[in-house]
Chain A
Amino acid sequence: MLVVLAGLLAAGALGGCSKSGEPAQAGGSGQPGGSQKPKEKVEIQFWNPLTGEAAAILDGIAQSFNTSQDAISVKTLSSQDPQKQLTAISGGNAPDLVMTYWNNIGPWSEAGAVLNLEEKIKTSGFQTETIIPAALDRMKVDGKLHGFPISMSMSNKLFYNKKMFQEAGIAKPPETLEELLDAAKKLTKKDDKGNITQIGFIPDYPWIDNVFWPIIFGGSWEDGKGKLTANQKANVDSIAYQASFYKEFGNEAIAKFKSGMGKANTPQDPILSGKLGMMIGWENKYNDQRGENGELGVAPFPYPQDRPELKNSGMVSPVAMFIPAKAKHADEAWTFMQYLLSEDVQIRYATEVKTIPVLLKALDNPKLTKNESLKSMWEFYESAKSKNLNGFPNSIYINEYLQALSEETEKALKGQQTAQQAMDAVVAKIQPKADKAAKK
């Protein structure tokens, strides 16, 4: 049939077509020797999942890098979500540098997709101590660095509605978790039908946080020798503590109240509209509403009364960068990565995106700490130096582990099982996967 032939021909013709249409991969840096022409720049591909303005900020930084030297030209490509990153890398089309979510580093590294950076760090003399340890630790897989954070997100504060505190006669924000529960009770109101009309605190708002809470209780998930520790006392306590709010206010009642809550960051936002008294505080939330003149007050997140050494605990979730194992220009990517970790660039990125830099000394740089437009970030810069920051260990089974934690925690919060049962179930389910990973 003619059509088939035409189809096949088209396929053939298109092959040629696309080749000519493809951007010149300036890969061949090895110009024949003796050429007098200026050395051609090596082009490296930098994929990131950012969109819109954030993507444009990163483009700007790459642009500055490109004009600052004449050996490397960075080409950024935004909107590259993890699905695309994974498909392209697995499919044999790896870029040179990738920005991704921190929890991809574990699985992707163990699966062999990510370049182990130890060698490069050693030869270039890069000082890893300059990076915030809690952020850097997330990039370690089996103790080896497989990436670097470019910035980090942090939850270590308590945000509270000042007006609601006033009305309830609460003079100062709670310091301990016990005080938090008390304050929550004072801030909660029910109508005569038993429906909650305003609530003090919902431990799993805006989501079940199975990393934050155990950190607040000084828990951990792995003992460093392959044994999972999610069912140790501290972790179990953190679940039981959250469940106590459900016991106090009622399952159904909280669920019903939640369903009627307005969307975050809108005028109906529960904590802005006086429906919710307190919530876990992140650096990237309510930048315009918190601080001296805003509706929201900010305090360190409370600690367990009997463990004052856990003051100023918090969770760190860095944004990760890595070089794919099959990158064509790993050295150039590493050079650019170091550029992104230099103080000026860290400060520029943190300022423009309004995020926390990962370079320790940047946290004290007056360009950040005296910059009035970043005022709401100052206390986060300060607390990013805390020794009690932590995060979830990266591994190949990290996403299964996190998923299992969420599922079992949900059941515990709803009172379908005890906190201990929940965490035992998680360990029973995931320990075999950890054992299997350890064998490899």
Chain B
Amino acid sequence: MNAGNQIGIRRRERKRLLVGLLFISPWLAGLLLFQLYPILSSFYYSLTEYSLFTPPEWVGAANYKELFDDPKVWLSLYNTLFMTIFGLFPHLAFALAIALLLNRNVKGQSIYRTIYFLPTLVPIVAATLLWMWLLNAQYGLINELAGRIGLPQPNWLLDPKWTKPALVLMGFWGTGTATIMYLAALQEVPRMYYEAAEIDGANAWQKFRQITLPAISPMTLFQVIMGIIGTLQLFTQGYVFAEGNGQAIGGPENSLLFYGVYLYQTAFSFLRMGYASAMAWLLFAVVFALTILVFKTSAKWVYYGGDR
């Protein structure tokens, strides 16, 4: 490689950097103008005692130390991770299953697609009423069906062991977005792959395992990352669920005290924005670590049809 070539490479690299930065500049501008101040502020607050109305007072790492001695931080983190683990993955699997069915070129697809998306459009106050009836331990549809086939009939709304599973169950109604996204991904899987596999005598499972799953893996990556970020910040559902049932914040025995709910309460009810900010940054660290973990493994299971 001669010197001229190297200069050429460097020049091209510089040009690519410039063009790249220009393309992402609207986001960069947004970051600098609208996002940086709030983000840095919250970090600064996390090192202070801040009641929201008077200027923050510096306390150093005290808030972070307190986090480790606060059982409710860990309880709420547990409740939240429960939802991530037992909520996110079943919901994604369900969304994929429905998408696979919808992908079979069935008649009336438009109608089905709309139906499966409908629940995400219904306002939460209306949906809550329905939940409360469905989950009613004595008269609810779910327990009625469970009773008929001899399953246990838990007290979904009041038994602290069952409140989170109830929320997971209701969460299936919110899978429309993921279903639609998966469906789109499925429709783009090149058909010739399947035909080639069929010639090789692959069965349905093999085709799914070896063609479908890899082909939609970029969408799965997106769903998993956004799902982790989303469920760990779970807020509205937990709040509404407890409230709709006439329960205090956190639900029976704090079984619905999610991290976001406790954080909200700490900031705006207890007026401890400093401590709440420290909680936020702890959550940030958890989410960040999980995301990096997923991205690092993604090289092994995500395949892009295009480049890079």
A–B contact via C-beta, under 8 angstroms: yes
Do B54 and A7 touch across chains, with their CB atoms under 8 A apart? Answer: no
CB-defined contacts of B250 to chain A, threshold 8 Å: 407
* Cross-chain contact A255 with B53 (CB below 8 angstroms): no
Q: Can you list, as one digit per residue, whether each of B108-141 has a CB less than 8 Å from chain A (1) or not (0)?
A: 0000000000000000000000001000111100
Known: A111-B51, A113-B53. A4 touches B25 (CB 8 A): yes
Query: Is the pair B248, A8 in contact by a Cβ cutoff of 8 Å?
Result: no
Instruction: Decide: A207 and B246 in contact? CB cutoff 8 A.
Output: yes
Contacting residue for A112 out of B25, B54, B137, CB 8 A: B54
A434 to chain B, nearest CB (A): 14
The answer to whether B158 and A258 touch across the interface, beta carbons within 8 angstroms, is yes
Residue-wise, chain A 400-440 has the 8 Å CB interface mask toward B (1 for contact) of: 10010011001100100000000000000000000000000
Q: Is the CB of B254 within 8 A of A260?
A: no
Given contacts A90-B53, A111-B53, A206-B246, contact A256 B271 (CB under 8 A): no
Interface flag for A89 (CB, 8 Å): yes
Residues of B contacting A82 in the complex (Cβ-Cβ under 8 angstroms): 268
CB proximity of A384 to chain B, nearest CB, Å: 26
List B83-125 residues whose CB lies under 8 Å from chain A: none
Interchain pairs with CB closer than 8 A, number: 80
Which residues of chain A have C-beta atoms less than 8 A from B248's C-beta?
207-208, 403, 406
Given known A255-B158, A410-B253, contact A107–B271 (CB-CB < 8 A): yes
Using Cβ atoms and an 8 Å threshold, which residues of chain A touch B253? 410-411, 414
Question: Which of A89, A207, A407, A410 is B53 in contact with, Cβ under 8 Å?
Answer: A89
Interface residue ranges of A369-404 to B (CB < 8 Å): 396-397, 399-400, 403
B265 near A108: Cβ-Cβ < 8 Å: no
| Contact bitstring B249-282, A, C-beta under 8 A = 1, else 0 | 1101110000000000100111100000000000
In angstroms, Cα B20 to Cα A1, docked, is: 11
Q: Which of B51, B138, B247 contacts A256 (CB 8 A)?
A: B138
B26, CB-defined interface residue at 8 Å: yes
A3 within 8 A of B: yes
Binary B-proximity of A32-50 (CB < 8 A = 1, otherwise 0): 0000000000000000000
Kindly identify which residue among A7, A111, A259, A400 contacts B155, using a CB–CB cutoff of 8 Å.
Answer: A259
Kindly state whether residue B205 has any CB partner on chain A within 8 Å.
no
Tell me whether B29 is interfacial, beta carbon within 8 Å: yes
- Does A86 sit within 8 A of B, measured CB to CB? yes
Asked if B222 lies at the interface with its beta carbon under 8 angstroms from chain A, I say no
Query: Are A259 and B51 in contact (CB-based, < 8 A)?
Result: no
Alpha-carbon distance A7/B27, docked complex (angstroms): 11
Bound-state Cα–Cα, A207 to B249, Å: 12
- Chain A minimum-CB-distance residue to B159: A255
Specify the chain A residue showing the minimal Cβ separation from B271.
Answer: A107
Q: Contacts A260-B139, A410-B253 given; indicate if A83 touches B25 (C-beta within 8 A).
A: no
A396-B271 contact given A1-B25, A111-B52, A259-B138, CB 8 Å threshold: yes
B254 touching A407, Cβ below 8 Å: yes
Answer yes or no: B22 CB below 8 A from chain A CBs.
Answer: yes
Bound-state CA distance A4–B29 (Å) is 7
> Nearest B residue to A82 by beta-carbon distance?
B268
* Interface membership of B157, Cβ < 8 A: yes
Within 8 A of A (CB), among B16-39: 22-23, 25-26, 29, 33
Central interface residue in A1, A206, A259, A325, by most chain B CB within 10 Å: A259
Which of A1, A113, A406 is the most central at the interface, judged by chain B CB atoms within 10 Å of its CB? A1
Q: Given A1-B25, A111-B53, A407-B254, are A260 and B138 neighbors across the interface (CB < 8 Å)?
A: yes
Q: List 5 A-B contacts (CB under 8 A).
A: A1-B23, A90-B53, A259-B136, A399-B265, A411-B253
Q: A1-B22, A86-B52 are in contact. List 11 more A-B contacts (CB 8 A).
A: A89-B53, A107-B51, A107-B270, A111-B52, A111-B271, A113-B52, A206-B246, A396-B51, A403-B248, A410-B252, A410-B253
In order of increasing CB-CB distance, the 4 nearest A-B pairs are: A260-B138, A259-B137, A111-B51, A113-B53
